[in-house]
Every structure is written in structure tokens, then in C-alpha cells.
Structure 1
Amino acid sequence: MAHILILGGGAAGLAAALAAAQAAPAARVTVLERNPKVGKKLLATGNGRCNLDNTAIAPEKYFTADPAALRPLLAAVDAAAPLAWFEQLGLYTRTDEAGRVYPYSNQAADVLALLELHLQRHKVQLRTGCTVSTLRQSKGGYAVQFANPEGDMESLRADAVICAMGGAAGPQFGTDGFGTRFAAACGGQMRPLYPCLTALQCAKPNKSLAGIRAKAAARLLDGDRVLAEEMGEVQFTDYGLSGICIMQLSGLLAPGRSPKHPAVELDLFPAVPETELAALFAARVPLLAEDTAAAFWLGLLHGKLGRALWAAAALPDTAPHALPAGSWQKLAHTAKHWRFEGLTPCGWRQAQTTGGGLALTEVESTFQFRGCPALYFVGETLDCAGSCGGFNLHWAFGSGLAAGRDAAKHLCSRKR
């Protein structure tokens, strides 16, 4: 009996396994997963709600060293139609105002349970607690050696192998970068790994602001040049800055492609031009019942945040009415261009996904490893990290579907 072996039981691996079983019902399909259960990281996505896709998929939403190579691969992912596939499995979804797609139940556990139900119906074997060590060519296919839950070494031969062992992000979910190391061991050209979609540490964080959130425009700068801008809620932490808009900017801090002098600039009043903001500040002074700097921020900003902004503008800690007229222009400029320097991405534990990995030029549009028939690399193992909002799961599910279907097609062509 023909055998398709999937290494990794995350989003990409489970999609690949089910797609292969659907397309080749006579084949034996096996999943080897390191964790005690499959889908551990999938359960945590979207804060447990599973943001599984987005209506605004585009190459510009992804971070990679090879943008030209991304386009045909992303087209293959789109053609695999992961959302339509889920609907055929019986998943009912909803889409929010930002284009993020969720299961209607808002439960990631439901998505995993649905996948497991169909995997069971198609007689896909899920073997957990298995740690893969080597892969080699064998009799027109591949032999994979792994340690089983008891620690004993086993070997399985397969006609097709799909590697979906993930990257280095989220070690608390059982990932440790083995998937990308495995790709390198197979002879693939690698792009340096880096934590992607993560918070940023700053050289001089203001720890008194920890826990405060504010709507803002966040810009990534290289010196004085604006590289990117994101709108959203910024969360101040005791080490620096967080929030979705900050995490999006972290994707641009890739080794070898990162700006030489990165800085983040916050605009706390993005809807108000600087001159109007200065006039607004000046007009507030005679309206205040209490002539104190603390009262100045009532209804505008969190008090601690306002005081920190006041200090960043180097204004004296005195009554607002005692300040010279030019102070309000200075404060408005700081509020629109509050700069944070000495940026360092937080580590793997906080990263939502892995930047870098197997170069996209190493795989064909079917995700087959070039020069190795019926050997595939999918999902986070590849040098493709999506923005927040369902883009990574679109890539994971879609690449798994494309590879699983092509592996089944490979078996059929061999049979003929």
C-alpha cells in the first residue's frame, strides 16, 4: 500500500494529511507529532478563537527574503482555497470588520475537533510523542527514523513525505526550531531565523507606563526615514512596546534586512494635524478648573501617559498657565513624534511566528523540495511569515493542502 508520511501535527501538517487522504483514499497516511496531542499551537491562535484566514490576502502582507518567489507560492495557497475547504468539512465561519475570519463558535478547539473527526473518518493514523531524527532516500521513496513515546527508535518508509514541523516561535507549544534544522539537514538553503510578530524591547523603557494602552499610529524609522506605519492600540510594557501594530513592525527587523538605526515613533493623535493639536493644547489652559499639569490631560490621555509625554517634551513641571506660548507647539510635536530607540525584538516565547527558514526558491509551486520528488516543506518551516490577522494560518493550511494533494497526485502518476 502506498504511504504518505506527514512530519508534524500542527495546522499545516493536519491539513496536508487530510488533503492527501481525501485525494488518495487507497493510500496509507500517517502523521508523526512530537507533542502528546496534535494541534497544540492551533488551539492558542487568535487568543483561543482561531483567526483562520483573512479576506485581504496579498503578497504585501508577508515577510520574506524572496518576494518574487513568494508570489507563485502564495497563488498556489490561494488556489488551494483553505476557507472553501473548511466550509466543505462543515465549518461555519464569520468575518469581522477587519476581514479576519473566525469559526462562528469563536472556539479554536472546534476547528481542531473538526479536523480530527475527518482525519479519523479517512483513517489517518495520528502518532503522537514521536521525535523525528533523520530522513534518507530509500527504494524510490524515503525512510524516516524517529523515537517513539517509549524512547525506542523506529523507522517508517514512505512514498511521499511532507515536512510540517514548524519553526522556532512558541517553544511553550513544543516547537524548538527542529523543523528548520531538519530542512537544513536535507540540504536546503536557509534564511536566518528571527522572532516575528513580537513585542519590542527599548533601550530606555518607562516602567511606570507598564500596562497602559493607547490608540496610536506607530512608525518604524531608519534614522529619520519612515519605513512602515501601522495603526492600532499600543501597549506600554516594563521593557518597551507591544500591541498588534508594534508586532507588525517587528516583521521588518529581519537579520540582514533590518534598518541600521531602527526606531519607533508614536503619534498619539493621528487624526489631528500638529498645528491644530498645538492650538487645542493652548485652548485647554484657561478651561481647566485646576491649573496643574495632571488636570491638563483629563479626557485626553491616561494621566501617567500624559506626564511621561510632558517629560519627553522637556517641559518644566509647573502650572500650564506659567509656560511660554511656544510650549504647546513643542508638546504637540512630541505627541505626534514620540520616539523610542534601541529596539530589540523579544524572544521566541513571545513571538507569534518564525521569520526566516527554508528559502522559498528551494521549493516548487507545489511546495515540493527541488530535486527531491515527493518531498515537501510547508508552513512555518519556510521563509514566509504573515502579518497578524489570519495570514499565517492561511499560509499554513493552504500550503498543507497544496502539498497533500500533490503528494496524492504523485502516487497516482507512479501507479500509472
Structure 2
Amino acid sequence: MSPTSIRMALVVVNLLHLLLFSVALVRSDRSTMPLRSFKISGNVTYDCIDIDKQPGLDHPLLKNHKIQMKPSVSIHEIKNQTQINKTYKEKIKCPYGTVPIVRRTNEFITNAQLLADKYFHPLSPDSSGTHIAGIKQHGGPYHGISARFNAYKLDIGEDQASYSQMYIGNGYYGEFNFISAGLMTNPSIFGDSRLWSYGYWKGKYAKGCYNTVCPGFVQVSNVVPIVKPFDLKPGEQAALEWSIARDKQTGNWWIIQTGKPNAYIGYWPKELFHLMYDGASMVGVGGVSQALKSGFSPPMGNGKFPKRGILTSALFSNVDVLNSMYEKRRINVDVPVEKLLDSVNCYGIRIGNRVKFWTTPLGYFFNYGGPGGTSCGV
């Protein structure tokens, strides 16, 4: 073989090696890189991650966890996910087999993890500067809670937070497990003053986390992420119809959206909790405000005290529970409801007594909120 032929053969071999190496890199990248991304609201990006490779599954308690695609028992009748995608125009629509995970900066992760330990819940010790206006109920075991509720665009300071939450939990000898979800304005976590949907959990070893900041929550819907910003003008509102419900067969705790669009959003696996295997002993809903460094308490709800008229302030309606038999019941039917209000100077609550608002059934409902201020107490 001539020198020229040898050189040409070597070139071909090198090209083949390079091609094979490139293919290997592409295959490797596909397992970790998002299949698609959506940039919404300026600085918020969602990556469509393979559902089997989402960060929620990296939790050490979930090494052998098998993903559940929908509740095994129909807790709420909702439309098929395929029908949802055909009828609802959404900014986020990940390909099937992938789920939307909000892209996180190191600062976002750090802030969320630091504030997770300070998250207020009625089962936990009192938190300085935190106020609540809502209702709760002890008894159970409860297997779920659902409600329609709204929250508004408010003027919230950098070191403050205001949110509307639904929660379910259990405590035992100073330990507690709980799940909370709703709408939150918290610049310390999200880096802006927008209203966001959120989910939070605290489980084994007193560990807890917001949304998908750290492993634990398993996102299932490819259309509705658990955490999402709402671009609202001052005084405008966002509304949710959400449920937190324990699956009868698997024991996983689902977040289900029964408003538009209907969706099985995802769940917290049962492995994360050691006090809620058979249900929870307490459920509740309401508004919460947190003043940290400044001492000035922020507004709650729509910033107004509840008065006569359902639309005068923020509203929780159709508050229902899943009882020990997995029967959906109005929250005040079987067990008395306890009203929570620790700062009458700054916030209020007004329990409703109407069955319907125009043609819309309200079930058990109440108005809540207030302007906040400097006289709210500690």
C-alpha cells in the first residue's frame, strides 16, 4: 500500500472514531438534557425532563419507587389528560413522557432550603411574626381536603410573605408530618413579588421542601406544574380548585386540580412520611402572613377586612374533606370547625351561610384577609 493510501485510510479511521464518539455523546446527553424548554414570564423557564429522570426521584427514600401515573381510585372525576391538551391552551405543554420542571438558580435553591425550616403550619410551634386567618379541624383519620380559593396581587416586601394554603397533617410526641399547597407571594424564595402556586411537605427526619427545589415531589402532569407564576396587575386575583388526597391503594399523597385545566398534577410518595401511613389527624385552610426582619406585617387575601358581600375580600369555598371511609363530606358536617384568628387588629375572618352564589354552589365557605400593619403583634 502506498503512503498516500495509508494516510487516506488513517483519515477514514479517525473520522469513524470521531463519529462513534459523537454518537455516544449525543446518547449520553439525551438522558440528562431536556427534550424541550419553555420560557415564560421573562425569567422563568421550564425544562421538559424525562419523567423517569426527574429530580424528585433522587430522594434516598425513593430508590425503588415506581411512578404512579394517576390515582388508582377515582378521588375526583376529571377529564382524560389527552382531552385536556386538546381543549386547553397553556403556555407549557411538554411532550408525553416528560414533565415540566422549573429551572432553578443556585440562589433560588439556597433561599428555598433556608426558608423551608421556617415554614409555618398550625401543627408546628408558633413562628414569630406569623399570623393566620382560617379554619382547621381535628379528628380523622382524614384522607384528603379540597377547596376553591383565590389570592391577589399584593404589595409584599422582600422579607415578607403572604399566602393562601390548604393543609393536612399529623403530629405525635413533638414530631409532625404535613403537606401544604396553595398560592404564595414570597420574594425571598421566588425572587419577585408575583403570586405563585406552590406545594410544601415535611416528613421523616423533620425534612421538608418547596415544590421541586429538592427531591421528593413526583411531577406527573405534562401540562400543569406544581409551581407556576401568575402575572397579575395590582388587585387582580388568581384562583385554584385543588385537592390534597391520599391514594387508597398506594398511600401516595396526590395534588389534583379540578379547575381549568383538570389535571393529576403529581404526588408526594408515602415513603416520605412516617406519621401519615393511615391518614392525618388534622386538616385546614386559610390565609397566612409572615413578617421577618422588618416587623411590619404584610396584607393578606386582597388586603381588605371581610365585610358583608362574598366578593368584598378573599374567599375559600367548597371546603370538603375525605373521611376515614374515603367519603367526600363538607368539612363542618361530622366534626366542629375551629376558627383561627390571632390578630384582629390586622386581619379578619367571616364564616359564610349561603348555599349558592348566583348559580354556583359554595358549600362551606368563608372570607378572610386584611391590610396588615405594625399593630399585628408577634
Normalised to the residue count of structure 2, the TM-score between the two structures is 0.26
- Is the strand fraction higher in 1 or 2? 2
- Is the helix fraction higher in 1 or 2? 1
- Greater C-alpha radius of gyration: 1
Kindly indicate whether structure 1 or structure 2 has the higher relative contact order, using CA contacts under 8 Å at least 6 residues apart. 1
Normalised to the residue count of structure 1, the TM-score between the two structures is 0.24
